[in-house]
Chain A
Amino acid sequence: MSFTRLVLVARWSFSQLLLSPRTIGMGALAFTPVFVAVVYRVAAALELAPGISGFRVFSVLTASISLPFVVPMLSLFYASGVVSDDAEAGTLRYFLIRPIPRPELIFGKMIASATMALFLFVPPFVLSYYLTLAPSGFAELGTRFPTLLRDLLAVALALFAYNGLFALAGTVLRRPLLFGLFFVFGWQAGAAVVPGSARLFTVTHYLNSLIPRGGAGGALAQLTGERATMPEAIVALLVIGAATHLLAAWCFRRKEL
């Protein structure tokens, strides 16, 4: 595996993702918590939200928008296109006939899709943190900062898992977006409220275990003790991510045009 070539492919793929029309839509989605935070700030300034702490608002934003929607959607719309984007742009066969091992090509692309998702997620997430907590003063911002860092690390792990999963879908399926939408809003949403072990086969179960805040499913899980421990959740997300990335590379190695 050549690091130079990996970086070359990742940089190129990132620039193409950045310029793609979907970035506008994904950017708007990623900034949704910021819009809500601005509304909260306005409401707070007008004293329309007495007794609601900034951290509470940030937690709700995280639990109800960032984690269940923004994180999987960013990952889905970028990672599922690692192969199909090039196929649709008519560029895939030019890459496949270059003297670069196919796994390097797909790993470079997967690095780009994960970076892109992270690139779109982090600034608005941090901005929403600042907007919601700033009225409470710098002391509050500082006190809660470790929580923000922990959230970001947990999201990075979840993005790693989602990225591999959706990249794998993009490598083997004709319609990876449909699969991804079903996985996120069908399977994961359903498994979260169904008792039993189905939730073990979701990413949200482990992500919610790392960021145990809010959400009806989360509260129920906390009550019933159905959370994974932090080490379990970290290992599970790493294993899901590593396995799906490797599997995607293996499938791409065998892919015919």
Chain B
Amino acid sequence: MSASVIALRGASRWYGNVLGLSRVDLTFEPGVTALLGPNGAGKSTLLKLVTGLLKPSAGSVEVFGEPPFANAKIYKKLGLVPEEEDFRARVTAIEWLEYLVRLSGVDGALAPEVARRALDDVGLSEAAERRVTAFSRGMKQRLRIAQAVAHDPEVLVFDEPLTGLDPAGRREIIDRIRLWGAAGKTVIVSSHILHEVELMTREVVLMTAGKVMASGNIHEIRQLMDAHPHHILITTPDPRQLAARLLQEEGLHSISYSEERAQVELVTREPDHFYRLVAGFVLDGTTTIEEISSPDDNLEAVFHYLVGK
């Protein structure tokens, strides 16, 4: 039996004739993992399988070694921030949270305190007595997050958690997600905002058309993508001289330089070799380097290369 917190083995899900998820093998461990993909990639289906709102059509899904579907035992350890949808409960925020934390097994006497603390955590303490129907989009999103974390679950699943939040709110939630991950919780975040995902984690699962295209550390995934050579951008006062030296090396796909921008851009399948080489030039004092960057060693580039969107 796998020791993974969450394990999908050959998990597939059909909606009639439509394929939602196709033979997915995946595990999730403590820390933050981002789930990325265009609309229809299967992210929401995967999250519904993990949170037991759907059953797999084939294969298996286990959370803490048990199938999560309608499994009350699992839900004690799980919190879900569902995707944004109309929310029309005729209650105040504190009434809503108190009810949910009591359903989560918190004792009735403790529920008000637990609910208030959760509202404080997401910055909604001032609005505790207000009707939820009068909340703004951002406030409703904060409330969704509050209900997911109020009972201190070990697994947190976020479906587009930054929807409706202003920039400061986004930053705050990103920081909290990182903290929850660092605290040992297993956090899964589905998102399509790549640069914000990069602020949360380097561990990603890239999906398209119901399949997992790649999973793991974003840099390691990039390294494995042989079909797309790496671009390395070096800023130096003498780009011509540096380009000439690099040109003598094997493994170079192409190289160009610009005196005007004081930059050399090389394309290679062996980026680590060239990083070491350039570092050597600096160390032996033969070249001055102002900056080295890799414009396509990031989530957005990997995403676009793999998903083609």
Question: Which A residues lie at the B interface, using CB under 8 A?
Answer: 5, 8-9, 12, 16, 19-20, 88-91, 93-102, 253-254, 256-257
Query: Within residues 90 to 119 of chain B, which ones have a CB less than 8 A from any CB in chain A?
Result: 90-91, 99-100, 102-105
CA distance A23 to B147 in the complex (A): 29
CA distance A20 to B100 in the complex (A): 20
CA distance A254 to B70 in the complex (A): 8
CA distance A91 to B76 in the complex (A): 18
Q: Is the CB of B90 within 8 A of A94?
A: no
CA distance A99 to B100 in the complex (A): 10
Closest chain A residue to B102, Cβ basis? A8
Q: Is the CB of B88 within 8 A of A257?
A: no
Query: Within residues 72 to 89 of chain B, which ones have a CB less than 8 A from any CB in chain A?
Result: 72-76, 78-80, 82, 85-89
CA distance A9 to B78 in the complex (A): 20
Q: A8 to nearest B CB, angstroms?
A: 6
Q: Is the CB of A100 within 8 A of B103?
A: yes
The contact of B75 among A19, A89, A97, A257, by CB within 8 Å, is: A97
Once A90-B85, A94-B82, A256-B53 are accepted as A-B contacts, the answer to whether A99 and B73 lie under 8 Å apart by CB is yes
Tell me if B55 counts as interface (CB < 8 A to partner A): yes
Closest chain B residue to A256, Cβ basis? B54
CA distance A12 to B101 in the complex (A): 13
Q: B11 to nearest A CB, angstroms?
A: 14
Residues of chain A with a CB closer than 8 A to B70's CB: 96, 102, 253-254
Once A93-B82, A96-B53, A102-B70 are accepted as A-B contacts, the answer to whether A257 and B48 lie under 8 Å apart by CB is yes
Q: B69 to nearest A CB, angstroms?
A: 8
Q: B157 to nearest A CB, angstroms?
A: 9
CA distance A102 to B103 in the complex (A): 11
The contact of B103 among A98, A253, A254, by CB within 8 Å, is: A98
Residues of chain B with a CB closer than 8 A to A100's CB: 72, 75, 103
Tell me if B52 counts as interface (CB < 8 A to partner A): yes
Closest chain B residue to A104, Cβ basis? B72
